[in-house]
Structures are given as structure tokens and as C-alpha cells.
Amino acid sequence: MRRAATPDSAREPAAFGPYRVRRVIGHGASSIVYAAEHRTSGAAVALKVLRERAGGAAHDERRPRFFDQARAAALLSHPDIAAVHDAGEQDGSAWLAMELLPGCELTRYTRAPRLLPLELVLRLGERLARALAHAHARGVVHRDLKPANVMFDLPGSTLKLTDFGIAGLADTSRTRTGVLLGTPLYMAPEQLAGAPGDARSDLYALGVVLFELLGGQRPHEHASLGELLRRAMQQPTPDLRALRPDLDGRVAALVGSCLHKQARARPPDARALADALAAIARDLPAHGRR
């Protein structure tokens, strides 16, 4: 979600439901995010509004997925998952009232010279895996895990997994084989091939995030979706130690297992991955924590 200094449109109303708009704090391709407050309680929230100009069939498909985020959030209560408080429609615009978060997108720390220390990356990975385990246990698959959907405040150590807008719910029929939903650079091979994402697809995405946080680049990159699929399916997964020769071999092996082409060869579940990350972080020698 890109930061914005000025309002996207003078036509936006001053309020949505019980929330009074204060200022624009970010925007994406299909939505705009405001800092807002509840008119009665004064509680501060982030108000995400679906752009009206994203019209046509694409807009018709975005709207139900937009409200799926609220449906998914209603099932989740975890310290590292951003809370969604309310949702509604006004004058044809769909909106969500969400937890107002400090910090910035984790994307900030995916390139040199801002790469984070090894132990911190492992701890962040553990927290994200435990947040996924919480969601998976309640029938929710994120399906778009990437650094841009993680807010991180380094001074306060606050971490929040956000944007369950295309989450797979156990009772939804909108996720169909052959429909590509998500961000291709973070999608498992089976998703790139058109299969719906599942819990182990989320583990693949977390593997890409960890690879990027540690190595400063993604394991497979290409602008063409077809070539990206070919590389993900046919090329060996790059070894993190080629980028970080000093890296603990256990870390490289665990990240590599998340990125396995076959879902059944990845860690058995998010809880097991979280436990493995925690064990490595705990056992790191003092000189290997950087």
C-alpha cells in the first residue's frame, strides 16, 4: 500500500458510516486508505474504501472479495493479525474500518542496506507462521502473503499481518480452479498453474518472504507470468547461501523446504514451521545472530 500525502479525490465524502475521515494515509490499485475516527467514541481507525472508478466486471469481482476480508477477520483474533472492526457500503462505495497500525510495510527491509539481523528475521518469520497457524485452524487461508501485506514497527516491535481480501474461506465458492488470485512473485507453483491456494501455499509465500528478507531478492523473478511459472516449476530453488555464504545451514534448508515445488514436501503446517524457526533462533551462536 503506497503512502499518499494528498486526498485521492475531492469527491470523497467526509464520513463512511459512523467514521469521520481525517486524511489519506495510503492507496493501492483498487482502494484508498484514510485515517479516520469513530464519531461517537473518537476511536482512531484506518478506513479502507474500494475505489468507485475501478468499475466493470473487475469491480464486480472485487466487491465480494473486499467483504470477504471482513468475514475472515470475524473468525480471527491474534496479536499479529490486524483487526477489522466494521464494514459497510455508502453511496455505492464499500468500506472497511480496520486497526490503525504504526510502522511501515515490511517491504522496506527486503533490500540492502536495510536488511534486518538474522535473529530478528527468524523471530518475525516465527510470528507470521503462528499468525498463519491461527488463521488456518479457523479455516482461513491468506493466499496473498507478501511484505506489502505485513506492517512492521521496528522501534516498537509491532508486527501485523494484513489484507485478507482474497482469503480462502471454508464456505466460499469464489475461489475457483483456473482463476489466478494473489501476487505471482509470492505464489506457489500450484497457484501459478491455476489451482486454489491452501495452507501449504501460504507456507511457500512465507518462504519467499524469508528468502527476500535474508537474501535481498526473491528466489524467482520475471515480468512474464509464463516465464515465472516455468522457473518456479523447472528451475532448482536458489540456495540462500549463494547470497549469504555466512548463513546458518539450518536456515537455508528450512527456507528451501518452504519453497519446495511439491506442497507435500513443505513443512507439515504453519505451527511446525514456527517451532522450527524459533528453535534455530534460540540456538544461534552470538556471532551468527546478525
Nearest to 77 by CA among 14, 24, 20, 140: 140
Pairing, β 140-141 against β 168-169? antiparallel
The Cα 195–Cα 189 span in angstroms is 9
Other C-beta atoms closer than 10 Å to the C-beta of 65 total: 18
C-alpha cell at 112: 540492502
Pairing, β 168-169 against β 93-98? unpaired
Nearest to 88 by CA among 98, 76, 77: 98
Which of 8, 60, 91, 144 is labelled catalytic?
144
| Active site annotation includes 144 | yes
Q: What phi and psi values does residue 30 have, to the nearest 5 degrees?
A: -120, 0
Segment holding 83, helix H or strand E? none
Other C-beta atoms closer than 10 Å to the C-beta of 73 total: 23
The Cα 99–Cα 45 span in angstroms is 5
Q: What phi and psi values does residue 93 have, to the nearest 5 degrees?
A: -100, 125
**88: helix, coil or strand?**
strand
Nearest to 144 by CA among 99, 87, 184, 94: 184
| Residues marked as catalytic | 144
